[in-house]
Amino acid sequence: MEYSVKSGTPEKQRTACLVLGVYEPRRLSTAAEHFDAACDGHLSSILRRGDMEGKLGQSLLLVHTPNALCDRVLLIGCGRERDLDDRRFRRIVADATHALDNTGATEAVSYLTDLNVKGRDSAWKIRQTVEAIQEAQYRFDELKSKTQQPRRPLRKIILSVPSRRELANGERAVQEGLAIDGGIKLAKDLANLPANICTPTYLADQARQLAAEFPVLQFQALTESELQNLGMGALLAVSKGSAQPPRLIVLEYKNAAKQHKPIVLVGKGVTFDTGGISLKPADKMDEMKYDMCGAASVLGALRACAELQLPLNVVGIIPAVENMPSAQATRPGDIVTSLSGQTVEILNTDAEGRLILCDALTYSERYDPAIVIDIATLTGACIIALGRHPHGLFSNHPPLANDLLNAGRAAADRAWELPLWEEYQESLESNFADMANVGGREGGAITAACFLARFTRKVHWAHLDIAGTAWRTGKNKGATGRPVPLLTQYLLDRVAAEYH
């Protein structure tokens, strides 16, 4: 899809379709009022006759509008103006996209970016519009033998900005939206692939390809014997039961001075999580192909960062393994030595994410990072605690937690903080090793984070548990690409803070 921005009034647009908002109850948006005046009150008479209430989800396509230069007018219900928030705005844009897909128009000019969204400026609305349209049009049909394309697909969208002065900001917002969407799409595509295709080796190959596409990225992948030599006993214990060899993927993005300490992003890359010997029940086990969504979001954020050429140093570290039961697999009760030297009694082989992450987090120390953020589909308990709307956020550094919460709000990809208190550490005590890898059912998302905290004492660190947010379950099953928007926003905010 092609996007551009334009300032000017709706009645002057020669376009295949004009998109205008209508509020509930039967109230024209400002842009719709302008158009209405030019077409002799055609729109207000439609509202008066009761054909368009303005409710969220409603749409009405008009043709042969009197005096109009455009071929069609698409009215989109926006709900009550004072209720128009981030989420409703995205919904309105998605509704408009679906409605446009059902018209013959291949091009449109949208004035939805002129709607009043509480506390949001034009650039925000433009970026979110791009992201929401891309989201509405995403399909994963690579693996279907026959695919159906829309008859006359929408190819070009022109977004309104309120004045000429806003054009440059608007264009920048389009670029950001497209870069973030590129990251989201990469993350979704990798995540939606089944585990017989998306193996640790495949993930490494994809990271290598990303580095080939963006030469500022340097690629490296450590093999099993290299991981053995380093002493990553915790990571290797997880991959032992699998026929697929593990990889530690490292992507270095260097686009700032050397003394600029890097931000390290660590993504859980379990390409399939059967639970290992602590085998999971069969129901919905297919969804454990999504257990590499943390890894996918790291690749997505790096892609967006490279596309926007952000003046930062960022390192992506992805421990990639498959968790399988077999004669070689780790047993409950086995004790391993992590890269940090701390020993771990593996009481449950299904708590594997923390085992690969702890070694990757220790490995991140060698980059002398300013900040370390790990992203992981870590616990079912996080879904129980928070549901599927926010990411779970934990941090040993309150300013970092705040920055991430703010980035999530700005990007409409929100996180919610959970406590990382010392009290919870007790549950990880082991009679035989420095710690156990599980802490019982209560507060499971928190005790998992506490486990990771034992490996990040030297750095400012945050952990995002994306178990509830990385994919949708049920009829619309599919990856969401989250938290690529939050992560990219955080990087954009770092740039703004450091260079202004």
List contacts with ligand BES (CB under 6 A): 273, 291, 348, 350-353, 377-381, 438, 444, 467
Which residues partner with 329 through β-bridges? none
Positions 342 through 371 that interact with Mn ion (CB under 5 A): 350, 352
Helix (H) / strand (E) containing 374: strand 371-376
- Least distance to ligand BES, CB of residue 433, Å: 16
Active-site entry in 354, 414, 454, 494:
354
Positions 271 through 300 that interact with Zn ion (CB under 5 A): 273, 291
Residue 299 or 467 with smaller CB distance to ligand BES:
467
- According to DSSP, residue 326 is labeled S
Number of CB atoms found within 10 A of residue 249's CB: 26
- According to DSSP, residue 70 is labeled S
Which option in Zn ion, Mn ion, ligand BES, none does residue 380 bind, with CB closer than 5 to 8 A by kind? ligand BES
Residue 123 or 292 with smaller CB distance to Zn ion:
292
Token readout for 467 is 């178990």
Token readout for 346 is 């593996």
Which option in ligand BES, Mn ion, Zn ion, none does residue 478 bind, with CB closer than 5 to 8 A by kind? none
- Least distance to Zn ion, CB of residue 226, Å: 23
- Least distance to Mn ion, CB of residue 347, Å: 13
Handedness of CA 9, 12, 13, 17 (dihedral sign): positive
Cα 355 versus chain centre, distance = 23
Residue 273 or 359 with smaller CB distance to Zn ion:
273
Binding of residue 273 to Mn ion (CB under 5 A): yes
Which option in Zn ion, Mn ion, ligand BES, none does residue 403 bind, with CB closer than 5 to 8 A by kind? none
How many CA atoms, within 13 angstroms, populate the side-chain half-sphere of residue 6?
18
Binding of residue 322 to Mn ion (CB under 5 A): no
Which option in Mn ion, Zn ion, ligand BES, none does residue 443 bind, with CB closer than 5 to 8 A by kind? none
Cβ atoms of 410 and 487 within 8 Å: the answer is no
Of the candidates 8, 12, 6, the residue with the CA atom closest to the CA atom of residue 69: 12
- Least distance to Zn ion, CB of residue 350, Å: 7
Phi, psi of 182 (to 5 degrees): -60, -40
List, in sequence order, the alpha helices (H) in 19-149. 30-38, 42-48, 86-101, 122-137
Active-site entry in 26, 280, 388, 472:
280
- Least distance to Zn ion, CB of residue 309, Å: 34
Of the candidates 138, 110, 106, the residue with the CA atom closest to the CA atom of residue 126: 110
Active site residue 354: yes
Residue 270 or 306 with smaller CB distance to Zn ion:
270
Cα 172 versus chain centre, distance = 20
Residues lying near Mn ion in the complex (CB under 5 A) are found at: 273, 350, 352
Task: Give the catalytic positions in this structure.
Answer: 280, 354
